[in-house]
């Protein structure tokens, strides 16, 4: 299956002319059976990747789903990854496998009154969690720009049917307040812009997550501390979870992720921010590589206005619990009954 390196180098130059061996491999495998097809697919995937990765990929290809691994297998998988990432990125990389802590249920609260739309959280998250930087560019947090809305006298009589009696006023078509309009590409010189407020979204770590229910191979599941995680090595890339997520929180590695070695964060977790491979889904994990070690998430740390709060929902003295106690709180799309652990609030 794996081929000499020099051939692969050639192939990169001429992608449309695969050399004979791998094409034969590919054709031979494709028709026989599912496993053979999968094997040849693996062969095709292996060619054109670099050496450290190719070796590890072979071992990874046969490994079990993370949850079902014995302690030894977990250790083996982690060591394999550490070796591979260290070689690949040229820096000592650790892959943590810390399980969920007892008596912890992570929750998040975001003050939409304070958010100024600066998107520092977006970039801190990208930096912390090793997302692909370009082609595909992946960002887990999206900050939506909302219009405060405006009522104008000249729109008073605009509507239909016209002029037989107006049923719809012209103002009905101007956004006032929270209507999801999906504007997250705003690029003004300065934020906050006049007449707007901001509404960040990311994975809500639902207690009843639709993504987990639809996953055919249970590669995504809810860990005991309430974080919905993904075993990237078990994902088959069917994108059911992406279609099922009502918060548009999941991203897909359409191509091989591009993560510059100098920007790679070497402190990783198996279920969190370790570098991903192409063809798998990923999303926010409340920075579990940090939060399971008692730290804040990157987005909470970086927020300049303190709009983001994070803590243990089971601890009555935690920030999040105090907010739930004292502030006006709502959940986004509560009617879908997914019970997000990500709350929005106002003072």
Give the residues lining the site for other proteins (CB under 8 A).
Answer: 15-16, 18, 22-23, 26-27, 30, 34-35, 37-39, 41-42, 44-45, 47-48, 61, 65, 68, 135-136, 142, 144, 179-184, 201, 210, 213-219, 234-240, 242-248, 251-256, 278-281, 336
- The smaller minimum CB distance to other proteins, of residues 47 and 318, is found at 47
Give the 3-state secondary structure of residue 252.
Answer: strand
Q: Would you state the structure tokens that stand for residue 273, as one six-digit string?
A: 């921010």
* Shortest distance, position 170 Cβ to other proteins, whole Å: 16
* Shortest distance, position 190 Cβ to other proteins, whole Å: 24
- The smaller minimum CB distance to other proteins, of residues 152 and 179, is found at 179
* Shortest distance, position 202 Cβ to other proteins, whole Å: 11
- The smaller minimum CB distance to other proteins, of residues 242 and 314, is found at 242
Strands 308-312 and 281-282: unpaired
Q: CA angle, 89 as apex, 78 and 119 as ends, to 5°? A: 95
Kindly compute the dihedral angle of the four CA atoms of residues 87, 88, 90, 95, in this order, to the nearest 10 degrees: -80
Give the distance from CA 146 to its chain's centroid.
23
* Shortest distance, position 169 Cβ to other proteins, whole Å: 15
* Shortest distance, position 44 Cβ to other proteins, whole Å: 5
| Distance linking the first and last C-alpha atoms of the chain | 61
- The smaller minimum CB distance to other proteins, of residues 116 and 280, is found at 280
- The smaller minimum CB distance to other proteins, of residues 192 and 246, is found at 246
Instruction: Give the contacts of 343 (CB within 8 A, at least 6 positions apart).
Output: 107, 108, 109, 110, 320, 323, 324, 329, 330, 331
């Amino acid at each position: 299956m794996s081929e000499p390196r020099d051939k692969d180098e050639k192939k990169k130059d001429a992608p449309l002319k695969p050399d004979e061996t791998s094409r034969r491999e590919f054709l031979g495998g494709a028709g026989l059976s599912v496993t053979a097809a999968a094997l040849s697919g693996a062969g095709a995937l292996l060619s054109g990747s670099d050496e450290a990765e190719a070796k590890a990929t072979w071992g990874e290809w046969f490994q079990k789903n993370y949850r079902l691994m014995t302690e030894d297998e977990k250790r083996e998988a982690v060591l394999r990854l550490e070796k591979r990432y260290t070689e690949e990125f040229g820096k000592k990389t650790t892959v943590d496998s810390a399980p969920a802590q007892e008596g912890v249920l992570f929750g998040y609260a975001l003050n939409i009154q304070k958010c100024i739309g600066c998107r520092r959280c977006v970039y801190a998250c990208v930096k912390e969690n090793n997302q692909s930087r370009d082609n595909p560019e992946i960002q887990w947090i999206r900050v939506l720009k909302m219009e405060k809305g405006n009522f104008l006298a000249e729109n008073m009589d605009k509507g239909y049917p016209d002029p037989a009696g107006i049923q719809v006023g012209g103002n009905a078509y101007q956004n006032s307040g929270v209507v999801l309009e999906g504007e997250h590409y705003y690029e003004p010189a300065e934020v906050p812009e006049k007449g707007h407020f901001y509404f960040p979204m990311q994975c809500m770590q639902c207690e009843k997550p639709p993504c987990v229910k639809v996953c055919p191979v249970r590669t995504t599941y809810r860990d005991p501390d309430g974080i919905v995680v993904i075993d990237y090595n078990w994902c088959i890339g069917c994108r059911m979870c992406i279609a099922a997520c009502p918060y548009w929180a999941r991203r897909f590695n359409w191509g091989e992720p591009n993560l510059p070695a100098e920007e790679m964060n070497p402190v990783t977790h198996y279920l969190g921010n370790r570098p991903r491979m192409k063809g798998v889904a990923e999303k926010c994990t409340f920075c579990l590589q940090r939060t399971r070690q008692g730290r804040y998430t990157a987005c909470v740390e970086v927020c300049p206005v303190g709009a983001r709060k994070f803590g243990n929902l089971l601890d009555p003295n935690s920030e999040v619990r105090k907010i739930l106690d004292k502030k006006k709180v709502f959940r986004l799309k509560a009617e879908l009954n997914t019970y997000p652990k990500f709350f929005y609030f106002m003072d």
